Amino acid sequence: MAPRAKRSPWPTDRERGRRHGLKREAVLNAAVKSFNERGFHSTSLDDVAASLNVTKPTVYYYFANKDEILFECVKLGLEGIRDAAHAVEVGGGSGLERLTALMRNYALIMTHDFGMCVTRTADHELSPEARVRFRKLKRAIDDTVRQVVEDGMRDGSLQTGDSRLVTFTLTGALNWIARWFNPKGALSRQQIADGVVGTLLCGLAAIEATGAADSIETAGDAHLGTAKRPVLSQSRGAHNRHRALERGPSDLVADRTTQPIARAKRRPG
């Protein structure tokens, strides 16, 4: 019986490609953590290499320079938001339902390293070529959010208004999560996302409980399929917001009893 041929100790092209991709990803993960914690200029490739237990020439095998690593980090963050927007469009629904889902995903991305890097990176820190590509990606995302807002205004699920102003307000607030979010804080990423989105869609002004408007279909409720929530009294809503302010931004929980951007649905008759 002929002896079985031994498998070559050298990896196949496919295995080499997979290993290369994993190591390249490890460099990006190490770099983005350092960029977020120390800042781009205070992070050296020696720091990145040391965190991976390799030498700086090893890092250069995967990236030409630190500028290229930074752009790859912010690109991954922006691509995450873009992919979330695409998934929402595939899922369908009213403008309000799609906007709610998109905002929640957007908020969650801003609590992770690559999303944080998007907000914490100043334009001037990128090379001129990377800066152009960075701004183009950001504009595409703003255009997508604005389109969903306009769809909601057209189908009546959102109040009519200046779609550009609404878009800048929403994306500005969502982006800023990356500045104040504390992963060691009292609330989980999901709670932060739900709280911020609830505040943006429901507003802040309290509503008096009345028989004519005893239920409001909020943006989040419509998307989740639980259409009705009771309206609390103004004093209780104010009390809840006061407690939220005492806890600070990293412990924010939205007061879902407040005036929504979404149109309030009154019961007939």
Q: Would you list the domain boundaries of the chain?
A: 21-181, 182-269
Q: What is the mean pLDDT of residues 8-34?
A: 87
List Cα–Cα distances, 243 to 180, 220, 237, 239, 249, in angstroms.
18, 22, 10, 6, 11
Residue 159 identity: Q
Full-model pTM: 0.72
CA 191, CA 152: separation in Å to the nearest integer?
Answer: 25
List Cα–Cα distances, 97 to 57, 90, 128, 191, 240, in angstroms.
49, 12, 38, 19, 26
Structure tokens given for 35: 């960029």
H or E stretch including 216?
Answer: strand 215-216
The pLDDT tens digits of the residues spanning 75-92 come to 999 999 999 988 988 888
At 207 the pLDDT is: 59
The pLDDT tens digits of the residues spanning 116-163 come to 999 999 888 999 999 999 999 999 999 999 999 999 999 999 999 999
Backbone phi and psi for residue 222, each to the nearest 5 degrees, phi listed first: -65, -40
Q: How far apart, in Å, do the first and last CA atoms of the chain sit?
A: 90
48, HSE (Cβ side, Cα atoms, 13 Å):
32
| Fold of the CATH domain 21-181 | Tetracycline Repressor; domain 2 (1.10.357)
Structure tokens given for 213: 């408007």
Q: Say which range, 61-75, 81-95, 242-256, has the weakest mean pLDDT.
A: 242-256
CA 145, CA 107: separation in Å to the nearest integer?
Answer: 13
